[in-house]
Amino acid sequence: MCAMSAKQRRDHTLQSIAQNCCNDERNIIEMKLKRISRLNTESKYLISFICWIFFHSTLFSQTGSISNISVSQRTDGSGKVDIDFTLNGTVSVYYVAVEASFNGGNTFMPIPAGFLSGDTGPISPGAGKHIIWNGLQSFPNTYSVQSKVKLTPTTTPPSGVPCPGTPTVVYGGQTYNTVQIGTQCWLKENLNIGTMINGSSNQTNNGIIEKYCYNNLESNCNIYGGLYQWNEMMQYVTTPGLKGICPSGWHLPTDGEWTTLTNYASGENIAGGKLKSVRTVPDPHPRWDSPNTGAIDDYEFSIFPSGNLKALDDFFFNQGRYAFIWTSTEYNYAYAWHRVFIYNSNAIQRTYYSVYHDSKKTNGFSIRCLMDN
């Protein structure tokens, strides 16, 4: 193997090293592993990894490529990883997806956006780009001498990050975060707008947005969002996809738009886990009851178990165990399509009727708003 200084290893891309030093990727991996192994003797809890860049990155992006990549693992015990690189491209705005492999590059896993900060996008081409990966939190107790990092530039916003140009929305005095999932931009929190009324009263068409709060406590609305009857949510119109009580520029998602989200998250059987928050008892509220099956919150959608109100009898139940979220698509005069997330399942249920949960339009369910196209 050719001799190389520490500065050369830090400042050159793997591609240039491969071309100038024996042209053997295996030698490069061995050399990098020796360096990483020395780092890990200082803190055995750090993740061991190799910086890996595609030698022909244009195979993975038609309009952008990555060069001059340098990866360094901090030795302070934080488990954080610094990734420096140059972004090359011909368009003005890019996003950078980051993935990790712990089996030598045979398979890669997307690193959730919540564990990344820095220049993931939107960013313009240029040198001096920097991403911080909280490696220890994203993959706790993981050690591998076959680890690799993959950066992929794209012009499509990645999922699980704030919506480009609209990271937050202020509505009714409350600030909501946004999250991009595929081509859809969602509010990250349940809607909490309106004046609280008692759970024994009907929400009415009186020009005032009315809401229920679990157990008739305003504090529960502040934590889990409000609960709404379907007609109040729709403002007494039945057209699917209208604004309803959402902010301007947003609307109440249809059954079809919820299906689009479900399919993006790999289908009904596992999408629930990918969309649920990982917060579980004994974490502070908001949180799920144990076992919170399958929860990984892949896209930072962070569904919480807000419970529901049984129609007109002041009976609140299921907080901690279930989340019921309306769509704007009715089934008939008495029922409407909605989605159900469950504490002991990683599925998402699409339904319009349940005897046990009393799924009538007069029930109080949660709301998520979707940005207009």
pLDDT in tens, the chain (373 residues): 344 444 333 333 323 322 332 223 322 222 232 233 333 333 333 344 443 333 223 333 346 899 999 988 889 988 899 999 999 999 998 989 898 888 888 888 888 777 888 998 889 999 999 999 988 877 776 777 778 899 999 887 777 888 888 999 999 999 999 999 988 999 999 999 999 999 999 999 999 999 999 999 999 999 999 999 999 999 999 999 999 999 999 999 999 999 999 999 999 999 999 999 999 999 999 999 999 999 999 889 999 999 999 876 778 999 999 999 999 999 999 999 999 999 999 999 999 987 656 679 999 999 999 999 8
pLDDT, residue 358, reads: 64
Q: pTM of this prediction?
A: 0.67
Of 128, 154, 180, the position where a domain reaches its end is 154
Same domain, 136 and 209: no
Of 93, 124, 154, the position where a domain reaches its end is 154
DSSP strand pairing (370-371 vs 250-251)? antiparallel
CA 106-107-111 angle, to 5 degrees, is: 140
Range of the domain at 173: 168-371
Question: How many domains in the chain?
Answer: 2
Identity at 88, one-letter amino acid code: N
- Tokens describing residue 31: 């050399």
326 φ, ψ (degrees, to nearest 5): -70, 150
Same domain, 327 and 269: yes
Same domain, 179 and 104: no
Q: Which residue has the tokens 């011909």?
A: 90
Same domain, 129 and 201: no
Domain assignment of residue 159, yes or no: no
Same domain, 176 and 319: yes
Domain assignment of residue 1, yes or no: no
Domain assignment of residue 198, yes or no: yes
**Torsion angle in degrees (nearest 10) through CA of 326, 327, 332, 335:** -10
pLDDT, residue 199, reads: 94
Same domain, 145 and 114: yes
Same domain, 364 and 262: yes
Domain assignment of residue 163, yes or no: no
The 10 Å Cβ neighbour count of residue 184 is 18
Helix (H) or strand (E) holding 152, with range, is: strand 148-154
Same domain, 36 and 149: yes
Same domain, 220 and 74: no
Find out whether 261 and 254 touch, Cβ atoms under 8 Å.
no
Helix (H) or strand (E) holding 194, with range, is: none
Domain assignment of residue 162, yes or no: no
Domain assignment of residue 132, yes or no: yes
pLDDT, residue 63, reads: 65
Of 124, 154, 184, the position where a domain reaches its end is 154
